[in-house]
């Protein structure tokens, strides 16, 4: 291994939607199928894409203009999740450049993991369907913790499962809550400005150690040059 190939961190952790995987196309399919069934106008895919970061609840609010305390909200959310489960991984893919990075991790035996607010049911199904170059050594979902991001609990759990100190890990995310969770855990953090960023969000304001606009830029951070 040359000096340039020495990893600067003992492990890399990723948020899932909008950071590791481009899952938005399948959310677009599911939500617009649901709207079409009701004879409603379809939503602009870009609008749905920026809303994915707020999960199924955010997408229901976007599509139907409902608050979470509306009696119609939860039935609609559950119906949407049924549509989503039907097309979970039809178009979902790694973001460009990450296949090469995960291949490099496998070659050099660098552990990586996922810390997501996506429920395990959907996370595991997608990971099972995708043929990733290397497998995550830890996958932390809301099912595994009592407090989700921005609380540091899921990031700290991932570090324990990898048997590393938080200061030895790099956490990459495309939302303020990801960076807050990583910082509160004591990790180094990367704002993924290529992800699902809402119009009012500015990743430069999140306080991360690094900011990238292209997933391929991660290589130079992980393998510090």
DSSP-assigned beta bridge partners for residue 115: 140
CA 42/CA 204 separation, integer angstroms: 32
pLDDT in tens, 51-77: 998 899 999 999 999 999 999 999 999
pLDDT in tens, 202-223: 999 999 999 999 999 999 999 9
In the numeric block, which tokens belong to residue 97? 């450049």
Confidence check: pLDDT of 2 > 70: no
Short-list 136, 221, 146, 147, CA closest to 187? 221
Q: How many CA atoms lie within 13 A of 68 on its CB side?
A: 6
Out of 81-90, 140-149, 193-202, least confident range = 193-202
How high does pLDDT run on average in the chain?
Answer: 95
pLDDT in tens, 84-106: 999 999 999 999 999 999 999 99
Catalytic residue among 4, 15, 151, 205: 15
What pTM, to 2 d.p., does this model score? 0.94
CA 29/CA 42 separation, integer angstroms: 10
pLDDT in tens, 155-177: 999 999 999 999 999 999 999 99
Q: What is the mean pLDDT of residues 189-196?
A: 97
17 is catalytic: yes
151 is catalytic: no
Q: How confident is the model at residue 199 (pLDDT cuts 50, 70, 90)?
A: confident
CA distances from 17 to 41, 70, 172 (A): 25, 26, 11
Short-list 225, 218, 204, 135, CA closest to 171? 218
Catalytic residue among 17, 22, 26, 174: 17
Q: How confident is the model at residue 1 (pLDDT cuts 50, 70, 90)?
A: very low
Q: What is the dihedral of CA 70, 75, 77, 78, to 10 degrees?
A: 160
Tell me what pLDDT residue 77 has.
Answer: 97
pLDDT in tens, 112-125: 999 999 999 999 99
Q: How confident is the model at residue 200 (pLDDT cuts 50, 70, 90)?
A: confident
- Terminal-residue alpha carbon distance, the chain: 14
Sign (positive/negative) of CA torsion 67, 53, 143, 177?
negative
Tell me what pLDDT residue 3 has.
Answer: 38
């Amino acid at each position: 291994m040359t000096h340039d190939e020495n990893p600067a961190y003992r492990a890399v952790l990723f948020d899932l939607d909008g950071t590791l995987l481009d899952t938005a196309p399948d959310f677009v399919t599911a939500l617009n199928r649901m709207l079409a069934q009701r004879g409603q106008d379809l939503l602009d895919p870009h609008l749905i894409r920026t809303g994915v970061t707020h999960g199924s609840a955010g997408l229901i609010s976007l599509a139907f203009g409902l608050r979470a305390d509306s009696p119609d909200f939860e039935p609609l959310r559950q119906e949407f999740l049924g549509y989503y489960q039907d097309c979970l991984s039809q178009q979902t893919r790694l973001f460009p450049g990450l296949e090469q990075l995960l291949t490099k991790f496998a070659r050099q035996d660098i552990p990586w993991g996922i810390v997501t607010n996506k429920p395990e049911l959907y996370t595991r199904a997608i990971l099972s369907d995708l043929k990733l170059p290397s497998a995550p050594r830890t996958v932390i979902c809301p099912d595994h913790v009592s407090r989700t991001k921005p609380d540091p609990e899921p990031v700290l759990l991932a570090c324990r499962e990898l048997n590393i100190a938080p200061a030895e890990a790099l956490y990459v995310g495309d939302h303020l809550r990801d960076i807050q969770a990583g910082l509160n855990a004591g990790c180094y953090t990367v704002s993924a400005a290529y992800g699902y960023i809402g119009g009012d969000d500015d990743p430069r304001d999140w306080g991360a150690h690094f900011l990238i606009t292209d997933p391929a830029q991660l290589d130079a951070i992980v393998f510090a040059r």
